[in-house]
Amino acid sequence: MLRAASFSVARRVSLNSSRGAPACAVPQAMAFHASTRREEEAKAPVVPESKGGLFGTGLSEWFALPIGLTAAVPIIKFDWYVINEETQLAAVFIAFCVAVYTQGGDAIHRMLDENGKVILKEHNDAEDKVIAALEEKLQFLKEGGGQVDDFQAINQLREEAYTNLNAAGIIKPQHDFKTQVERALNMIAQEEASVTEKAKIALMAEATAAVTNEFGTSKALKRASLESAIASLKGTTTEEGSDPVKGEFVKFFQAKAAAAALNTDDSEEKAQRVALVAKMNAIAKAESFFFNFDDSGKPKMVV
pLDDT digits (tens, 9 = 90+) for 41-70: 545 556 566 666 667 777 777 777 788 888
**Residue at 245 is within a domain:** no
Provide the whole-model pTM.
Answer: 0.38
**Residue at 219 is within a domain:** no
Q: From the centroid of its chain, how far is CA 196? A: 64
**Residue at 121 is within a domain:** yes
Indicate the residue type of 266: D
Instruction: Find the domain containing 128 and state its range.
Output: 1-6+63-139
Q: Would you place residue 135 in the very low, low, confident or very high pLDDT band (cuts 50, 70, 90)? A: very high
**Residue at 183 is within a domain:** no
**Residue at 277 is within a domain:** no
Domain count, the chain: 1
Q: Would you place residue 74 in the very low, low, confident or very high pLDDT band (cuts 50, 70, 90)? A: confident
Q: For residue 173, what are the contacts with CB-CB under 8 A and spacing of at least 6?
A: 290
**Residue at 56 is within a domain:** no
Tens-place pLDDT, residues 9-25 = 445 444 444 444 444 33
* Separation between Cα atoms, residue 53 and residue 67, nearest integer Å: 14
**Residue at 281 is within a domain:** no
Asked whether the beta carbons of 60 and 53 are under 8 A apart, the reply is: yes
**Residue at 119 is within a domain:** yes
